[in-house]
Chain A
Amino acid sequence: MFDSSAHANPTRNRNRLQLALYLAFCVAIFAVPLFIDDDFLLNRYARYLVLGMVAMALSLSWGYAGILNLGQALSFGLGSYAMAMTLKLKTVPIHTGPDGLPDFMVWNNVETLPWFWVPYQSTAFAIFAGVAVPWALAAILGWFMFRGRITGVFVAIITLAILVVANLLVIDQQRYTGGFNGITDLAQLEILGLEFDAYSKSTYFLVASCLSVCLLGALAITRSKAGLIFQAIRDQEERVRFFGYDVAAYKIMAMSISAAIAGLAGMLYTVVMEFASPTFMDVPLSLSIVIWCAVGGRQSLLGATIGAIVVAGMQGALSESETFLDTWMLVMGLIFVLVVLFLPNGLAGLLDMAGRRLMRRPGALAGGPAPAKGLSGQKAKDQT
């Protein structure tokens, strides 16, 4: 199966090819505004990129370290609210006067700004908190779960339960969170004199830069020694412990990095959508993230990113087209079922199999035209 002549370098070649693919993706997303001059479309694409980012974060914890965090939307939502809070406070002087409160607090008869809103008057603090709060929460939660050696489906249940609790809390505390309505009517984000209008190239580029940095950073993590150990933990947790590693510390690290990236994505989502809502931290979103990840390939960061972009894009396109107006949910479900049945490693797995097929038969490349992608995909499916 593995001829000895090829065993010297395939890993290195694969790594180079992988890096090239990641860089090509980053260049491609930066190139999009060159071809599209429609601010409405750019806003929509920026939204998809943000969703790609949160799916990528889940791939890091689920696909690499084997931690199925069903509360990924909690990190996302916390980031989103952190950004919304600071942007809301910026509107206070215009809406309710210099000594006023955010408008929804006035409607709810709140008289002074609650203590936990005060630091959000600084945008820098909000940006810090949008990453640090989800990070710290995941680290604390991870400490309890992984020190207690809770694994597998129980991790999924606990994280899901905490998400539900947080969601109810946010909806219930309308006086401080805007309840069902969320926090709306926000100012524009301004960093160092740069304004980020949701419907402009600047916001798109902000999102694209954050996604690129996080994607490449996460790739570096997966290639580090710790990344290798994450994967070893995913395969055989007990064995890693007997090599002398503190498995809990590694799992806490994987989960908290993932949460921090999700928090950043949440902040960007508020900038792109121009509001924050409890639906940004609810169960349907969290499950969608898992589906994006599975469709794209949870063991590939780029796969998960593209999975989210493709599925969210299709959701958008299908739900707006006249033909699928009533049936788009069914179509999405069908696609998900097909992927799970035939492509256990998602779209990335399909590419992987096709690539391996080509590499294993160098003659096929030189001899005739490479097989059409659909054909090799079909063969790959047959193999599974």
Chain B
Amino acid sequence: MTEHLHIEGLGVEFNGFKAVNDLNLSVAQGELRCLIGPNGAGKTTTLDLICGKTRPMHGSIRYRGREIARLPEFQIARAGIGRKFQVPSVFRQLTVRENLEVAHCKHISVYTNILRSGRSAESDGLEKLAAFVDLSDYFEAPASVLSHGQTQWLEIALLLAQDSELILLDEPAAGMTHQETQKTADICNRLKGKHTIIVVEHDMGFVRQIAQVVSVMHQGTLLMEGTVEEISRDQRVREVYLGSTLGI
């Protein structure tokens, strides 16, 4: 497997607090990597750094061999990195189809887009995407009528519409019912191999269902990497999680 994302010596501080500190991480093409760790370990910050929401102070992020650490976020997005945020953020007043239309866009210039129809000819592909996350029945419905779980799935569909090769999912199963979590895991499993995916998640049950390799973060740095079994056996990981109820 070829290396897709390579992070080296990455660090950022907020008012002296080292949120991410000398982080090294390498993710292969088509891999589904889970990023876990106790609260404040710097998982979400790591995603912020990759997608350009936060500027790193040290280190490098290489995506397909290209340094992206200091590019503006829209250029990082165009390079093929898609991000789902912790708080669901879809366009609630637009329909599911329109949401996908916004995400699916080869042309990003305002000058060409003002001359192009809002309804692209590739509606078929978009309908398939909606079907992929089981939202066919809501294709023409405004996103505001979707449930919490459906909103999360729409977000995943948006990343696929965007044609992201590297997908960053921040807590995709947060606040979901058991069935919804199951369905989300199913969606993630179907994406394995086609896209490189990094999932930040607290729910160990969910991680068990999807994970190949798990990276554990602690105090802004990488603690260890391994399969779910290796990690649950590891003494250091147990210490870090001591007192928390993650059920490792």
Contacts and interface: CB of A to CB of B under 8 A. Distances in A.
Contact of A243 (B77, B113, B140): B77
B51 A242 contact: yes
Interface centre among B73, B91, B94 (most CB of A within 10 A): B91
A228 B89 contact: no
Interface stretch (A198-206, A246-254, A302-310): A246-254
Interface in B46-96: 51, 53, 73-75, 77-78, 82-83, 85, 89-95
A57 B137 CA distance: 36
A242 B77 contact: yes
Nearest to A3: B137
B117 A231 contact: no
A236 B107 CA distance: 20
Contacts of B137: 2, 4, 7
Given A11-B95, A231-B91, A1 B141 contact: yes
Contacts of A2: 137-138, 140-141, 145
B113 A239 contact: no
Interface string A1-19: 1101001101100000000
B141 A236 contact: no
Contact of B94 (A223, A231, A249): A231
A232 interface: yes
A253 B73 CA distance: 20
A190 interface: no
Contacts of B116: 224-226
Given A2-B138, A11-B95, A232-B91, A225 B113 contact: yes
A241 interface: yes
B108 A246 contact: yes
Size category of the binding interface on chain B = 35 or more
Interface residues of A, number: 33
A4 B137 CA distance: 6
Contacts of A1: 141, 145
A337 B75 CA distance: 45
Interface of chain A: mostly helix, strand, loop or mixed = helix
A29 interface: no
Nearest to A2: B141
Contact of A235 (B51, B91, B117, B138): B91
B110 A246 contact: yes
A244 B120 contact: no
Contacts, number: 110
A163 B116 CA distance: 34
Contacts of B117: 223-225
Contacts of A229: 102, 105, 110, 113
Given A236-B89, A236-B91, A242-B82, A227 B118 contact: yes
A236 B90 contact: yes
A168 interface: no
B115 interface: yes
B44 interface: no
A320 interface: no
Contacts of A249: 109-110
A257 B12 CA distance: 40
Interface centre among B107, B114, B141 (most CB of A within 10 A): B114
Contacts of A226: 110, 113-114, 116
A127 interface: no
Contact of A228 (B73, B82, B94, B141): B94
Nearest to A237: B89
B102 A7 contact: no
A232 to B, nearest CB: 4
A240 interface: yes
Nearest to A8: B140
A244 B77 contact: yes
Nearest to B83: A242
Given A2-B141, A245-B108, A224 B78 contact: no
A230 to B, nearest CB: 9
14 contacts: A2-B138, A11-B95, A221-B114, A224-B113, A225-B107, A229-B110, A232-B94, A234-B93, A235-B93, A235-B94, A242-B83, A243-B158, A244-B78, A244-B162
